[in-house]
Structure 1
Amino acid sequence: MSDEKNNIADDVCQIKEIHIDAIKKAKEGMDSEETYMKLEETFKIFGNTTRLKIMSLLVIEDLCVCDICEILNMSQSAVSHQLRTLRSKNLVKYQKEGKLVRYSLADKHVVEILNMGIEHVLE
């Protein structure tokens, strides 16, 4: 490893200098505490492999619970539990089709978040 990577102090300021204009601009651009709390809860939902797999499947195709169970080799109760969690945060929606319930992603934002996350980890 180079000396640059070994020097822990390289990643902090060597002098204390407050940039008032930058601080003001950054503070004005921040969202409310409530918004950050809601965002935290949403990101927690993305912290589960099964839910990520379900959402990934729904990017490709709207699916009924039975299809999701078959693809993931999981019980209907386990899949339904995860779908309820995803629905509670408005990440998926469903539509009844006779005796079937077909799930889809709630909107394009969910697709974008998922795709950007995958793209980031594959870099």
Structure 2
Amino acid sequence: MNNNSYIPTANLSGLRCEDNSLHEEAIHQAQANLIDGLTATRLAAAFQALSDPTRVRLISALLEQELCVHDLAAVLGMSQSATSHQLRVLRALGLVRTRKEGRIVYYALDDEHIRELFQRGLEHIRHQQNFQLP
């Protein structure tokens, strides 16, 4: 099992709907609000990128300021090559952007939505005190 994709399910056993009837109004409302397949695929790709702890830490490092790859590598204690590889993934998905100043390339969060998404996720994890990895 890949620990990066661990999802706790211990507390979910025994939950079963005993009424097989459909709730038509609820179904129609859910269908009306359902996102299209392409949007779902793009969103899943962004969340998949955030399933890697290194990339999550990179996002964390960029919350308050832009940094170059050398600085990010030092912050995370990683090689420049490994850091650059992870930044390419985040950039390809539109989660970070770059700005070049002379010979230095700076990385920053693409927009405020990324910061908000990260902070909401962090609040959620901190709120769930029972959530523990194996």
Alignment partner of 2:114 out of 110, 115, 120: 110
- Quick one: distance in 1 between partners of 2:106 and 2:19? 59
The answer on 1:14 being equivalent to 2:36 is: no
Alignment partner of 1:53 out of 57, 66, 70: 57
TM, length-normalised to structure 1: 0.88
> Which residue type is aligned with residue 90 of structure 2?
L
Aligned to 2:130: none
- Give 3-state SS (helix, strand or coil) of 1:60's partner: coil
> Which residue type is aligned with residue 91 of structure 2?
R
> Which residue type is aligned with residue 14 of structure 1?
E
TM, length-normalised to structure 2: 0.81
Alignment partner of 1:66 out of 67, 70, 89: 70
- Quick one: distance in 1 between partners of 2:55 and 2:19? 45
Q: Deviations over 1:17-69 (max 9, x none)?
A: 21111111111110111111111111100001111111101002211111111
Q: CA deviation at 1:13?
A: 2.8
- Quick one: distance in 2 between partners of 1:59 and 1:82? 16
The RMSD of aligned alpha carbons is 1.5
Q: How many residues align?
A: 116
> Which residue type is aligned with residue 53 of structure 2?
T
> Which residue type is aligned with residue 117 of structure 1?
G
Structure 2 unpaired stretches of 5+: 1-10, 128-134
Alignment partner of 1:44 out of 43, 48, 56: 48
Answer with 1 or 2: which has the greater Rg.
Answer: 1
Q: CA deviation at 1:16?
A: 2.1
- Quick one: distance in 2 between partners of 1:15 and 1:31? 27
- Quick one: distance in 2 between partners of 1:14 and 1:70? 55
Aligned to 2:103: 99
